[in-house]
Amino acid sequence: MPFCRAVVLFLAFDHRKLYSEDHNMDRPGEKLKRTRERLKLTFRDVEQASLEIASRRDNDEFAIALSRLADIENKGTVPSIFRLYTLCAIYRLDFDEVLRWYGVPRDQLAGDAMHIGLESTHEIHLTHEGTVSVPQSLDCDINLDRTTFLSQIVRRWGKMPLAFLSGLDLRRYRYGFIGLSDWSMYPVLQPGSLVMIDESKRRIVNDGWTNEFDRPIYFLEHREGYLCGWCSRSGDKLILHPHPGSRAIPAVYAYPAEIDVVGQVTGVAMLLESKRLRPAQT
């Protein structure tokens, strides 16, 4: 009986040991350690390589001392962004992938940003190497020439890239967000709208449209932030025209001294019903 009990205790202890080893295999530091060992690099090799990077960048933050590397691999110490860059350079690792090891999903940065409501109209930088990921296979074909109900596809993807719907190249466009308190182009643009901006179309067009939907909308930057609206030019003056339904008044700026045209709004994604109450007219 004592012998059997000893065997049971031994097996239980061994199981805990295996679980601990498996858990360690998932640690970022352990992954970095295995990568270093596969490359047959010693701590001293990594330290010396990091000093070369620090010298090239003229910044000691890129350097990794022997003790610091040991702490990163064995104690779970999180490296600074500079040291993480150094390790990725030395180990030939993808920076975004190593960030994910540490629980930082850079590819979801834009999604998290859109959940933070800002009152002012502002520009958005949504570039990710100029590409858009789309599913390799779908349960149904999508004909972009026809109106399509996409709720199930959106639920499956988690997000619907604006560029995918238009078949556009992300490298050519920038993005802006119409502030939650910006009613200047209401009802054409709701507060909270996401707009796509073509930087190649910066010249103000004074005529040539037949209705308000054809009239070009421009995204502009001035010393106090960003603006969005219809524009006209008169000499060195740029006149920003809000939508008449917004009850806002036109504004005049010296151009280009006081204001710069980022580009023309060529796409928009917005809710048709605003969740915010329009301010009362004064």
> For residue 144, what pLDDT is reported?
43
So what's the pLDDT on residue 15? Answer: 42
C-alpha–C-alpha distance, residues 276 and 191, integer Å: 8
Indicate the class that CATH gives domain 112-269. Answer: mainly beta
262 close to 187: Cβ distance less than 8 angstroms? no
Residue with tokens 């060195």: 236
> pLDDT digit of tens for each residue in the chain (282 aa)?
443 433 333 333 344 444 344 444 579 999 999 999 999 999 999 999 999 999 999 999 999 999 999 999 999 999 999 999 999 999 999 999 999 999 998 877 766 776 777 788 887 765 544 443 444 444 555 454 443 444 444 444 444 455 444 444 555 678 888 888 899 999 899 888 888 889 999 999 988 889 988 999 999 998 888 999 999 999 999 999 999 988 889 999 999 999 999 999 998 887 666 555 566 655
How many CB atoms sit inside 10 A of residue 69's CB? 24
pLDDT for residue 272: 66
Q: Are 188 and 182 in contact (CB under 8 A)?
A: no
Domain segments of the chain as ranges: 2-101, 112-269
CATH number of 2-101: 1.10.260.40
Position 224 scores a pLDDT of 85
pTM of the model: 0.53
Return phi, psi of residue 148, to 5°.
Answer: -135, 140
Q: Which residue has the tokens 């000499």?
A: 235
User: Cα 209 from chain centroid?
Assistant: 35
What does the pLDDT read at residue 5?
A: 38
Fold equal for 2-101 and 112-269: no
Burial class (CB in 10 A: 0-12, 13-18, 19+), 189: buried
